[in-house]
Amino acid sequence: MSNEYKTPDLKSARMRKGEILHERFTLDEEFFNIGKNLKYRIQTYGCQGNEADSEMISGIFEAMGFIRSFDERDADIILLNTCAIRENAENRIWGEIGRLKSYQTKNPNLILGICGCMPQEEVVVNKILKSYPYVGLVFGTHNINELPKYLKDVFVNKKRVIKVHSYEGAIVEDIPKVRMQTHKAWVSIMYGCDEFCTYCVVPFTRGKERSRKKEEIIKEVRELVSQGYQEITLLGQNVNAYGKDFKDEDYKFGDLLYDLDKTGINRIRFTTSHPRDIDGKTITAFKDCKSVMPHLHLPVQSGSNEVLKKMNRGYTKELYLDVIERLKAVKPDISITTDIIVAFPYEEEKDFQETLDLVKKVGFEGAFTFIFSRRSGTPADKYPDIIPAEVQKERLLRLNKVINEGYLRGNKRFLGKTVKVLVDGFSKTDDTKLTGYSEHNKLVNFTGDETKIGKIVLVEVTDAKTWYLEGIEVK
Ligand code: 5AD
Ligand code: SF4
- Short-list 469, 470, 442, 472, CA closest to 458: 472
Q: Are residues 13 and 137 in the same domain?
A: yes
- Answer yes or no: do 30 and 134 share one domain: yes
Ligand 2 pocket at CB < 6 A: 46-47, 49-50, 83-85, 116-117, 201-202, 205-206
Give the CATH number of the domain where residue 137 resides: 3.40.50.12160
Residue 168 lies in a domain: no
Examine the domain organization and report whether 8 and 113 are in the same domain: yes
* Same-domain pairing of 145 and 104: yes
Q: Is residue 108 in some structural domain?
A: yes
d(Cα 377, Cα 199) in Å, to the nearest integer? 10
* Total number of domains in the chain: 4
pLDDT of residue 1: 38
Rounded CA separation 377/463 (Å): 48
**Of 342, 306, 297, residue with least CA distance to 441:** 297
Contact 188, 235 (CB under 8 A): yes
Ligand 1 nearest atom to the CA of residue 368, by list position: 17
For residue 49, give the ligand nearest its CA: 2
| DSSP code at position 145 | G
Asked whether 156 and 34 are in contact (CB, 8 A), the reply is: yes
Which residue has its alpha carbon closest to ligand 2 atom 6? 83
CATH number of the domain residue 238 falls in: 3.30.750.210
Instruction: Judge if 128 and 274 occupy the same domain.
Output: no
For residue 273, which of 187, 328, 204, 338 has the smallest C-alpha distance? 338
245 and 266 fall within a common domain = yes
- For the CA atoms of 398, 403, 404, 409, the dihedral, rounded to the nearest 10 degrees, stands at 140
Q: Which of 361, 385, 411 is the last residue of a domain?
A: 411
Distance CA 31, CA 208 (A): 30
User: Do 246 and 185 have their domain in common?
Assistant: yes
Residue 356's domain spans which residues?
A: 315-411
Query: Residue-wise pLDDT tens for the chain (475 aa)?
Result: 345 788 888 778 888 777 889 999 999 999 999 999 999 999 999 999 999 999 999 999 999 999 999 999 999 999 999 999 999 999 999 999 999 999 998 899 999 999 999 999 999 999 999 999 999 999 999 999 999 999 999 999 999 999 999 988 899 999 999 999 999 999 999 999 999 999 999 999 999 999 999 999 999 999 999 999 999 999 999 999 999 999 999 999 999 999 999 999 999 999 999 999 999 999 999 999 999 999 999 999 999 999 999 999 999 999 999 999 999 999 999 999 999 999 999 999 999 999 999 999 999 999 999 999 999 999 999 999 989 999 999 999 999 999 999 999 999 999 999 999 999 999 998 999 999 999 999 999 999 999 999 999 999 999 999 999 999 999 8
CATH number at residue 431: 2.40.50.140
- Asked, for residue 220, whether it belongs to a domain, the answer is yes
Residue that is last in its domain, among 293, 326, 355: 293
Chain centroid to CA 384:
29
432 and 385 share a domain?
Answer: no
175 within some domain: no
- Any atom of ligand 1 within 6 Å of the Cβ of 352: no
Nearest CA to ligand 2 atom 5: 202
Rounded-to-5 percentages of helix, strand, coil across the chain = 35, 20, 40
Predicted TM-score (pTM) of the model is 0.96
User: Has residue 86 been placed in a domain?
Assistant: yes
Residues 198 and 272 in one domain: yes
**Exposure string (b/e) for 319-331, b if CB count within 10 Å is 16 or more?**
bbbebbeebeeeb
Tell me if 299 is assigned to some domain: no
Q: Within this chain, do residues 214 and 362 fall inside the same structural domain, yes or no?
A: no
Q: Whose CA is nearest to atom 1 of ligand 2?
A: 83
pLDDT of residue 2: 41
Q: Is residue 306 part of a domain?
A: no
Pocket probe for ligand 1: among 45, 51, 83, 85, the residue whose CB has the most ligand atoms within 8 Å is 85
Domain boundary among 117, 137, 163: 163
Over residues 194-251, the pLDDT tens digits come to: 999 999 999 999 999 999 999 999 999 999 999 999 999 999 999 999 999 999 999 9
Q: Note whether 285 and 320 are same-domain residues.
A: no
Q: Is 370 in the pocket of ligand 1 (CB under 6 A)?
A: yes
Query: What's the confidence (pLDDT) of residue 97?
Result: 96
One domain, residues 286 and 326? no
Q: Which ligand is nearest to the CA of 376?
A: 1
**Closest C-alpha among 40, 43, 44, 36 to residue 68:** 40
CATH label of the domain that carries residue 359:
3.30.750.200
* Ligand nearest the Cα atom of residue 202: 2
Q: How far is the CA of 217 from the centre of ligand 1 (A)?
A: 28
- Whether residue 387 lies inside any domain: the answer is yes
Q: Residues 6 or more apart from 381 whose CB is under 8 A from it?
A: 374, 375
